[in-house]
């Protein structure tokens, strides 16, 4: 009575639908609403968006909205990605079927990441069509790097605890604050504290990536590499944890 | 097919101590068997089933299904599983939920749709196909749970409190479903508080209490339904007089005797002789209290409490 294993590839359509409805809809709606409000209410000179002032405003709005979407998208994209099924008990139905938990969640994680990159590309293109051309590719690359970092850490946290969302937020905010303190001019941070800061989320590297790409420079590979490697390490940790530790709590 | 060797599971308490949920359970369940698991709340039934599905790892001991570690077995072959704590995302529609689960069960997209329709028809939930899960009654949701367990032909089926929330008609139909599932190469586990249900369905019932196996009772439910068993006979006259015609019977009351386990032929022969002797039989009841008695003894309750 052995049959084929779960049709995960076919299930991908349902995962994409879940991503769009449950995770992407809110940041998309918020960003579209803000963009529409700004486009509709901004006071532009006679030659509209093509004027130097119009270009500057469009670019400022784009930078702000894309940063907002990237962060909100990464957090909402990974929030409770595993812990929701565990704490609500959905896993009992899902994983009594011949399907690997690791493969199921890795696929969901990839779908959410790719979905966010595609979405920001579409939204940026739309914004560019309505105003002036904006760096669509840069926004997509920033989204991808942020996803691997925030999404990777969030994935591992969601495997490890049902309180992954607050822990992820605290980790991100805490890391940002600590890195700012460490890098501030005249910082008197103790050496042991600097060692701790070194292992926290390297959020400052994502900031470097964003700044470089939005300034029209190529992707800074060193900064992107550190952020991606850190996130990827957590993805690997998530998979190992899922295989070794009881899924149910 | 299923083996448990010295399996224990304990949880860490808030104060750092260990709370045992299952302690030193050793059990073999062969292919073709239907085995019941009974026990009071917190006896460890659901914990054992969670370990068999690989959702929990044992603290000590080993579990295997067809020689494989449980999670590896499930990921390779799947288990027809109806959990006690049923939960599906509330926004899912019944039909979509079954299609999703059919895909995960390994059915190709086209067949997934067909199988979802088949099990909905079988469980008579077709009229709820477009309803969201949150709109279903407890009984209908339970039928969705049974339906998803039947999406794929599995060698192992596990039902945890399967008739919880079902009305009497569907409770009876569920027994029919389990009987239809019985195959020489399939192992079925049923955990339930309903001893009568276990008595009717199972070959053996494992009675757990405080995480330990207290007793394993051979009930032979499936064969008894069509054949041998013990009976209580109510008579119009004096039970003591009637007892002389029923060889081996014991007097239970003024008008009731209990016969020892008999085959159908033996029972009918005995009954015919008693009728020929002039005994007026007013009722015959299959013995249904043996498991209750065993259970009561195993968990230290009085039979009256269990009944």
Report pLDDT for B231: 82
- Extents of the domains making up chain A: 12-244
Q: Say whether A3 and B56 touch across the interface (CB within 8 A).
A: no
**B116 and B154 fall within a common domain:** yes
Report pLDDT for A162: 96
- What is the nearest CA distance from A120 to chain B, expressed in angstroms? 27
**B239 and B210 fall within a common domain:** no
Q: Say whether A7 and B81 touch across the interface (CB within 8 A).
A: no
Report pLDDT for B226: 46
Distance CA A138, CA B112 (A): 41
- What is the nearest CA distance from A98 to chain B, expressed in angstroms? 4
Structural domain harbouring B51: 2-218
Report pLDDT for B306: 57
Q: Of B159, B192, B218, which closes a domain?
A: B218
**B18 and B145 fall within a common domain:** yes
Report pLDDT for B240: 87
SS (H, E, C) A120-157: HHHHHHHHHHHCCCCCHHHHHHHHHHHHHHHHHHHHHH
Q: Which residues of chain A have pLDDT under 50?
A: none
Q: Say whether A96 and B155 touch across the interface (CB within 8 A).
A: no
Report chain B residues whose CB lies below 8 A from the CB of A96. Answer: 53, 74, 78-81, 83, 158
Q: Would B293 be classed as within a structural domain?
A: no
Residue B266 has pLDDT above 60, yes or no: yes
Q: Would B112 be classed as within a structural domain?
A: yes
Phi, psi of B82 (to 5 degrees): -115, 105
Q: Say whether A93 and B88 touch across the interface (CB within 8 A).
A: yes
**B143 and B207 fall within a common domain:** yes
**B142 and B263 fall within a common domain:** no
**pTM value?**
0.87
Report pLDDT for B288: 53
**Total count of domains within chain B:** 2
Residues B36-69 pLDDT 10s: 999 999 999 999 999 999 999 999 999 999 999 9
Q: Would B234 be classed as within a structural domain?
A: yes
- Which stretches of chain B are DSSP H helices? 45-52, 70-77, 94-104, 109-122, 138-149, 168-181, 195-201, 221-226, 239-245, 264-276, 290-299, 303-306
Q: Would B302 be classed as within a structural domain?
A: no
**B170 and B102 fall within a common domain:** yes
Residues B68-124 pLDDT 10s: 999 999 999 999 999 998 899 999 999 999 999 999 999 999 999 999 999 999 999
**B189 and B132 fall within a common domain:** yes
**B59 and B196 fall within a common domain:** yes
Averaged pLDDT of chain B: 90
Residues B204-231 pLDDT 10s: 999 999 999 999 998 865 444 444 567 8
Q: Which residue of B has its CA nearest to A242?
A: B55
**B157 and B261 fall within a common domain:** no
**B180 and B59 fall within a common domain:** yes
**B79 and B149 fall within a common domain:** yes
CATH code where residue B13 lies: 3.40.50.300
Report pLDDT for A16: 98
Q: Residue B142: CB partners within 8 Å, gap ≥ 6?
A: B86, B162, B163, B164, B165, B166, B170
Distance CA B39, CA B45 (A): 7
Q: Would B298 be classed as within a structural domain?
A: no
**B252 and B214 fall within a common domain:** no
Report pLDDT for A187: 81
Report pLDDT for A34: 94
């Amino acid at each position: 009575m052995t049959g084929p294993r779960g049709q995960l590839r076919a299930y991908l359509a349902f995962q994409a639908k879940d991503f769009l409805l449950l995770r992407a809809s809110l940041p998309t709606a918020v960003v579209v609403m803000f963009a529409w409000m700004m486009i509709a209410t901004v006071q532009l000179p006679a030659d509209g968006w093509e004027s130097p002032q119009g270009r500057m405003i469009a670019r400022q709005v784009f930078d702000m909205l894309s940063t907002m979407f990237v962060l909100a998208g990464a957090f909402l994209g990974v929030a409770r990605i595993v812990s929701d099924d565990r704490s609500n008990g959905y896993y009992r139905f899902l994983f009594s079927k011949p399907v690997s938990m690791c493969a199921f969640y890795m696929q969901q994680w990839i779908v959410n990441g790719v979905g966010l990159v595609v979405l920001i590309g579409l939204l940026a293109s739309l914004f560019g069509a309505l105003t002036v051309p904006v760096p669509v590719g840069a926004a997509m690359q920033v989204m991808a790097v942020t996803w691997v970092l925030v999404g990777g850490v969030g994935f591992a946290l969601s495997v490890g605890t049902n309180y992954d969302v607050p822990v992820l937020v605290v980790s991100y905010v805490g890391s940002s604050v600590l890195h700012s303190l460490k890098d501030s001019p005249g910082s008197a941070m103790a050496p042991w504290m600097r060692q701790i800061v070194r292992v926290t989320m390297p959020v400052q590297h994502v900031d470097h990536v964003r700044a470089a790409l939005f300034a029209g420079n190529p992707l800074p590979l060193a900064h992107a590499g550190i952020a991606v490697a850190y996130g990827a390490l957590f993805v690997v940790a998530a998979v190992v944890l899922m295989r070794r530790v009881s899924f149910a709590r | 097919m299923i083996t448990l060797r010295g399996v224990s599971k304990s949880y860490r308490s808030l104060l750092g101590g260990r709370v045992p949920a299952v302690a030193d359970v050793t059990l073999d369940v062969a292919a073709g068997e239907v085995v019941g698991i009974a026990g009071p709340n917190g006896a460890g039934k659901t914990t054992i089933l969670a370990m068999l599905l690989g959702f929990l790892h044992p603290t000590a001991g080993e579990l295997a299904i067809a020689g494989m570690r449980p999670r590896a077995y499930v990921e390779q072959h799947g288990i027809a599983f109806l959990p006690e704590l049923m939960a599906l995302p509330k926004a899912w529609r019944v039909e979509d939920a079954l299609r999703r689960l059919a895909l995960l069960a390994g059915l190709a997209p086209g067949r997934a749709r067909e199988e979802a329709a088949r099990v909905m028809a079988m469980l008579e939930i077709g009229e709820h196909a477009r309803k969201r899960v949150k709109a279903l009654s407890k009984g209908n949701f339970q039928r969705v749970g049974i339906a998803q367990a039947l999406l794929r032909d599995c060698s192992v089926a596990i039902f945890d409190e399967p008739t919880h929330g079902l009305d009497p008609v569907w409770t009876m139909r569920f027994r029919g479903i389990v009987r239809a599932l019985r195959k020489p190469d399939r192992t079925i586990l049923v955990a339930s508080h309903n001893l009568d249900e276990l008595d009717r369905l199972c070959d053996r019932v494992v009675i757990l209490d405080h995480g330990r196996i207290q007793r394993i009772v051979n009930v032979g439910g499936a064969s008894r339904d069509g054949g041998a068993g013990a009976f209580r006979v109510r008579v119009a006259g004096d039970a003591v007089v009637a007892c002389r015609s029923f060889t081996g019977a014991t007097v239970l009351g003024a008008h009731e005797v209990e016969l020892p386990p008999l085959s159908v032929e033996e029972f009918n022969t005995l009954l015919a002789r008693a009728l020929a002797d002039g005994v007026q039989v007013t009722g015959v009841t299959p013995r249904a209290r043996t498991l209750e008695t065993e259970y009561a003894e195993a968990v230290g309750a009085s039979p009256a409490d269990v009944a």
